[in-house]
Amino acid sequence: MKMQVDGRKARGDKRRAEIIEATLRVIERDGVAGVTHRIVAAEAGVPTTSTTYHFSSLDDLLIATLISCARDMATEVYWMIDRARSRGSRGASEVAGLLAEALGPRRGRTMAEYELYLLAARKPELRPAARRWLDVLTSMVRHDDEVAFRVFLAGIDGLLIQGLIDDEPPSADELRPVVDYLLKPR
Amino acid sequence: MKMQVDGRKARGDKRRAEIIEATLRVIERDGVAGVTHRIVAAEAGVPTTSTTYHFSSLDDLLIATLISCARDMATEVYWMIDRARSRGSRGASEVAGLLAEALGPRRGRTMAEYELYLLAARKPELRPAARRWLDVLTSMVRHDDEVAFRVFLAGIDGLLIQGLIDDEPPSADELRPVVDYLLKPR
DNA sequence: TTTGTTTCGGGACGATCGTTCAGGTAGTTT
DNA sequence: AAACTACCTGAACGATCGTCCCGAAACAAA
């Protein structure tokens, strides 16, 4: 039982990954509305028919992109939490900094994530992937304050969404008191 | 200085409003991606060219729809708060009930609102309209607990967004403890 | 009535869309 | 070697798209 020695499949998987990455870049730049076979193909530097060969439809492409995106985000947040926890802090400053980063330099990526998020609201098959990062976080926290944690997660989502329609992204300093209040036990 | 006696303009304004309503219905049903001149016109029962006549471009149509939508929501929430306040309650149950309604019977409308919300993240000219209901709420609250109020607004947004990707909408009973925690002073 | 303004709507143009197809290439198996 | 499989890609089809044009109709002002 040997795994993945077929050079053809290896090339195919590689190109599939490149197309997904290109799709994510297109969504960051133009939104989900800007995703077409031709534009994604041009962004990836492959012929148009390559995207239709590897993904049987545009929906399949978006689904694969969301799944990939959600997986990345989940592992990213996983390590962020792990880092903050090992440092012993409750993490208000870390979270505020992460939010500021998500709304500043990584603003396009954040928009893309929420557009895919909303797409999952319309396409049930996307929901498990969209919920993945919530599940990862939930599994990491102790179970005796579940309500507080749900409030925390909702607050993060709300701050991100509201930050996206600000004319200029909020700084970590502006975010910190809000995050601090959000994390304060009562 | 007499106002609005021209029957032609009156008809025009009426049709414009009908087109906007049709656009909102299309967004609720198919999402922002499903908005085209032809589909909106068919939904409104008017010829295709009517939408291009009254709105110089598709963007204009979406902008007008978001503005109308935001105005409706703002006044709606305004009266909701006013009602809860006059009843003397802090409103946890009212808020939980409203969220359950937004995620249940009015789910399509809620999705439409958040899609337009995200559209505002990409189109700066939409942001004042998208921020309108936040501003209305902010102006109604006393200023000594601004941070708590920002947390409350963020939490509402987060609960709505997360509720949209649940397989079945959460009930008011499930939401109440979370809302209660969110409103609890500390 | 005549003139001017505003709304209405059929038709069409070029562009772009998703998707298909058929032939060609590279890699694996027998 | 031949047979088979998987990937690649140029060309094209029909559909739909946004938008424009231009004459007709409704209404107001003269």
Report whether A155 contacts B158 (CB < 8 A).
yes
**Which of the nucleotides lies closest to A13 (Cα–C1')?**
D7
| pLDDT for A56 beyond 70 | yes
Tokens, residue B60: 């204009």
In 3D space, the residue among B26, B42, B35 whose CA is nearest the CA of residue B109 turns out to be B26
**Which of the nucleotides lies closest to A7 (Cα–C1')?**
C27
Q: Rounded to whole angstroms, how far apart are CA atoms B87 and B71?
A: 25
In angstroms, how far is D9 C1' from B60 CA? 39
B170 in helix, strand or coil? coil
In angstroms, how far is D14 C1' from B62 CA? 29
More confident residue, A138 or A7: A138
Cβ of B8 less than 7 A from strand D: yes
Chain centre distance of CA A64: 13
Tokens, residue B167: 């397989």
pLDDT of residue B94: 86
Contacts of A48 (CB under 8 A, 6+ apart): A37, A38, A41
**Residue-wise pLDDT tens digits, A154-177:** 999 999 999 999 999 999 999 999
Contact criterion met (CB < 8 Å) for A165 and B115: no
Tokens, residue B90: 């802090």
In angstroms, how far is C14 C1' from A25 CA? 29
Contact criterion met (CB < 8 Å) for B120 and A165: yes
For residue A88, report the phi and psi dihedrals to the nearest 5 degrees.
80, -5
Residues B117, B120, B122: CA angle, nearest 5 degrees: 125
| pLDDT for B148 beyond 70 | yes
Kindly indicate the confidence band of residue A104, based on its pLDDT and cuts at 50, 70 and 90.
Answer: very high
Contacts of A122 in chain B (CB under 8 A): 31, 111
In 3D space, the residue among B35, B98, B96, B100 whose CA is nearest the CA of residue B63 turns out to be B35
Contact criterion met (CB < 8 Å) for A153 and B134: no
pTM above 0.95, yes or no: no
Tokens, residue B151: 């947390």
**Which of the nucleotides lies closest to B2 (Cα–C1')?**
D28
In angstroms, how far is C27 C1' from A95 CA? 49
**Nearest residue in B to A35, CA atom:** B33
Q: A107-122 and A7-30 helices cross at what angle (nearest 10)?
A: 100
H, E, C per residue of chain A: CCCCCCHHHHHHHHHHHHHHHHHHHHHHHHCHHHCCHHHHHHHHCCCHHHHHHHCCCHHHHHHHHHHHHHHHHHHHHHHHHHHHHHCCCCCHHHHHHHHHHHHCCCHHHHHHHHHHHHHHHHCHHHHHHHHHHHHHHHHHCCHHHHHHHHHHHHHHHHHHHHHHCCCCCCCHHHHHHHHHHHHCCC
| Residue B82 distance to chain A (closest CA, Å) | 23
CB-nearest to A158 from B115, B120, B153 is: B153
| pLDDT for A86 beyond 90 | no
